[in-house]
Amino acid sequence: MLPAIFGLSGPELTADERAFFAEVQPAGYILFGRNVESRAQLRALTDDLRALHGRDRLLICIDQEGGRVARMKPPVWSAYPAGAAFDRLWEIAPASAIEAARANAEALGLDLAEAGISVDCLPLLDVRQPGAHDVIGDRALGTEPLRVAALGRATLDGLARAGVAGVVKHIPGHGRAQADSHKELPVVTASAQELETDLAPFVTLAGAAIAMSAHVVYTAWDEANPATQSPFVIDSMIRGRIGFDGLLLSDDLDMEALSGSVPDRAVRAQAAGCDVVLNCWAKMADMQGIAARLAPMSVQTANRLQRALAPTRDFAEAVDMARQAELFAKRDALLALAAA
C-alpha cells in the first residue's frame, strides 16, 4: 500500500484515476467540493472507491468542520457552526458546551456516515493566540488549552458515536502563526516555554488515532524546517513530548508553505517521520511522481492505519439519520444559552 492520500478530480472516478489507483493502492482519499453534488452521487463515489480496493475499512476523509470550512453544503446537507460557537458557550456553561460539541459532532458524523466517509479532519486543537492570522480564527475551540482539549475530546467522541474517526490538527499547534500556510510559510518565534501552551491540548489527547501536521516553522525547535518536514519536531516533540503514537498525516503538500516539487515535498515529509502524505489536488503528474518516489508503507504505519480505521462503521449497515433531529435540537437548545 502506498502511504499517500490522494484527491479526486470530480464527482466520479475518471478512467485514468481508476487505473492509477488500482495499481498503486493509496492509503486513502480526500474529498472536496468538486467531488460533492448530491447524496446519491457522493455515496456512489465512496462505494466505488471501496469496491475498487476491496477494503471495507478504507480511509476516505473530508474537511467538514462547520463554519467557513465545509465541503458538503446546504441545501443538500445541513450547516454546522464553527468551533467559536462552543467556545462562547463555555464562557457561561462549560458542561453544556461539551454536550453541545458532542451532539454537533455526532450529527455531522451521521451526514458523513450516510455518504460513506470514514474520517473527518476535525477537531482543531490549535490554541488561538492574540494577533495571529485569521486562517485559524473562529475555527478554533478557544484560547485556553484546557477548554480546547475538552471540546476537542467531545468532538472526537461525537464523531465516534456516528462511526467516523476524527483527526486532531494541526499538530503541534497552528494557533499563533501570523501567516496563512496555504499561501506562505509561517515562522513562529515563540520560546519553547511559550510553546507548551500550544502543545497542551495535543498532550491531553495524545491517544487520538489520527493527527495532521502543521506546515509551520517553530524556531525554538527547528529554524530550518516546518514541522511536517522536521525530523526533530516529529520525533522529539510530536512522538516524544506530546506522546502521540497514532497515524500522522501531513497537511496538504500543495500548500505554498512548502517548497520544491510536490514529489520532493512528499519525500521530505516521509523522511521526517510522517506516516502518510496528503496530496489534495488530483494532478495526475504529481500523484504519479509521489507514487514513484515514496518508500513503501512501513509495517508500523500499516498498523497505525489499521488501528485508526478499526472503530469506524461498517458502511453496509444502515445509518440512523432520524437521530439527527434529536441531536440538532439538543445542540441548538444548548447553544441558545450563549445567545440569551
Active site residues: 182, 251
Q: What is the DSSP string of 191-239?
A: -HHHHHHHHHHHHHTTT-SEEEE---EETTT-SSS-GGG-HHIIIIIII
| C-beta separation of 86 from 100 below 8 A | yes
Report how far residue 195's alpha carbon sits from residue 215's, in angstroms, rounded to the nearest whole number. Answer: 16
Exposed e or buried b for every residue in 172-206, given b needs 16+ CB within 10 A?
bbbbbbebbbeeebbebebeeeebebbbbbbbbbb
Record the cell numbers describing residue 272, joined without a space: 521526517
DSSP designation for 5:
E
Phi/psi at 291 (nearest 5 deg)?
-60, -35
- Taking alpha carbons only, the member of 26, 36, 33, 34 closest to residue 59 is 26
Record the cell numbers describing residue 1, joined without a space: 500500500
DSSP designation for 124:
B
Task: Give the Cβ contact number of residue 303 at 10 Å.
Answer: 11
Q: Which amino acid is at 246?
A: G
- Taking alpha carbons only, the member of 268, 293, 265 closest to residue 279 is 265
- Tell me which H or E stretch contains 69: strand 69-70
